[in-house]
Amino acid sequence: MPLTVRYQFSQPFPVSVKKAFDWCTNFSEEDHLLMGEKNALRQITHISEDMIILKDVFPLLKGSVEKEKLVTLYPEQLLWVSTHLTGPNKHSQFFYQILPINQLFSELSFTALHLEYDEKADAKLLAKQLSSEDAGAWKLLAKAMANEIANKC
């Protein structure tokens, strides 16, 4: 049985909630570049207006890791959920919600339910490591968002 690892963090954005949600859910093949993953590949399949399949391939020294995720959008709540369909953390779920700070600023509230299939893993240590990695990626995304939106104005 897999080990359940839960963690959460928040990431401020220097843009309104609507702009942040629209930017975050406009998935692109270049998303991994923004997060510092230079060789990762992304394929995007729109199932419906509010459902997307993301297929990500991460090259390793030997072979690669492939993850397929079902992303469900809830625009009225400025929320989306990503569920891993395949890959090393199959059935893990990640919840993303954009919350207002004020009219000009917002923040991402991120909650993870990560399933770890390595029975020897330490849940607390893994939660700390995964939270740090994911928060680091979102810091890069927040910077890219601010730059892109500032350049459009």
R_g of the chain computed on alpha carbons: 16
Average pLDDT score over residue span 98-119? 95
Torsion of CA 24, 30, 36, 41, to 10 degrees: 120
Per CATH, the architecture of 3-152 is what?
Answer: 2-Layer Sandwich (3.30)
CB 12 within 8 A of CB 104: no
Which has more confidence, 63 or 90? 90
Q: What is the pLDDT of residues 15-26, one digit of tens each?
A: 999 999 999 999
Which has more confidence, 34 or 66? 66
Listing DSSP states for 58-71 in one string gives EE-SSSEEEEEEEE
Share of the chain above pLDDT 90, in %: 76
pLDDT of residue 153: 55
Predicted confidence band at 32 (pLDDT cuts at 50, 70, 90)? confident
Predicted confidence band at 149 (pLDDT cuts at 50, 70, 90)? confident
pTM of the shown model: 0.92
Listing DSSP states for 17-37 in one string gives HHHHHHHHTS--TTHHHHTT-
Sheet holding 3-13, edge to edge: 3-13, 106-116, 93-100, 79-86, 64-74, 51-59, 41-48
